[in-house]
Structure 1
Amino acid sequence: MIVISTLLEAVANILHMVINIYIWVVIIAALISWVRPDPYNPIVQTLYRLTEPVYYFIRKYIPTVIGGIDLAPLIVIIVLQFIDLFLVKLLFQLAYSLQ
């Protein structure tokens, strides 16, 4: 049982780290979008490739532009925070209960 517990704890830690990194990617992409960066810049292209598929998925179901401001990054951050607070904590609790 300790092996499964340790595995779940490792998965929860990695998931937590990936969620936090992606939240920072979303924040950086949103901030960069305010200054109209060069679309051929490799960093801008990478940020676009990492964020636009998620934004597109959200925009299909929810109108995200309100008053000229796109709220898709905010929605992504809120959903990721919910997943982090709910699913990751659930995995940690499950791992600790198996010890």
Structure 2
Amino acid sequence: MNAVLMVVNFAFDAYLMVVLLRLWLQLVRADFYNPFSQTIVKLTHPLVAPMRRVIPSIGRLDTATLVLALLVAVAKFFVIALIAGRAVNPIAVLINAPVYILYEIFQVVFWILLFRVIMSWVSQGRSPIDYVLMQLTEPMLAPIRKIIPPIGMFDLSILVALFLLKVLETLIFLDLLGGR
């Protein structure tokens, strides 16, 4: 039973990360003709397209994709509770879903920053994925570079961003989970 729960948990987490990536790509107006962006769009389009007919966007925020993220989080809690044989508390699910999405946003940002570091070692800016990763992360890294410019060939902005991300994540989730 634990293996089934682990697989289901991973599947929901992975799909939620893809949905959040789509939302992030739209917010930064990334190149949607890039192969990486096209993969994200194709994985989410079957669920987002029908929702867009009913749920309008608010400015650059694609509310249909945001609602899909909430539905994926809610579905995860229900499915895991059903597999584990536990009772489902709908109020707790509705309260925990946005917190879970916030946590997953931190995870997506962390992995994208880490992936950008790894890609900089491997492809050195020649891959189409590098371009999308730059579009996603530059809004966070540019302000850090104004304070801490690159030292020779070393750009410490990603390291500082990862550190600040983990500090912020710890502060938020200690408060939300009552750790203080």
Find 1:71's aligned residue among 140, 146, 156. 156
In the other structure, the counterpart of 1:47 is 133
Alignment-derived partner of residue 20 in structure 1: 107
**1:32 aligns with one of 111, 114, 119:** 119
Identity %: 28
2:95, 2:154 → 1: CA distance?
Answer: 39
Alignment pair present for 1:58 and 2:144: yes
Q: Indicate the SS of the match to 2:177.
A: helix
Contact kept? 2:125, 2:131, Cα under 8 Å: no
Matched, 1:11 2:98: yes
Q: Is the 8 A contact 2:106 2:169 kept in 1?
A: yes
| 1:77 CA displacement | 0.5
Contact (CA 8 Å) 1:25, 1:47: kept in 2 or not?
yes
What stretches of structure 2 of length at least 5 have no aligned partner? 1-89
Bigger Cα Rg: 2
Q: Is the 8 A contact 1:8 1:92 kept in 2?
A: no
Q: Which amino acid aligns with 2:133?
A: L
Structure 1 Cα separation of the partners of residues 110 and 149 of structure 2: 18
Shift of 1:83: 1.1
Root mean square deviation, CA, Å: 2.3
Structure with greater strand share of residues: 1
Q: Taking structure 2 as the reference length, what is the TM-score of the superposition?
A: 0.43
Structure 1: tracts of 5 or more residues without a match? 95-99
Choose between structure 1 and 2 for higher RCO, CA contacts under 8 A separated by at least 6 residues: 1
2:171 pairs with 1:83: no
Q: Give the superposition deviation at 1:8.
A: 4.8
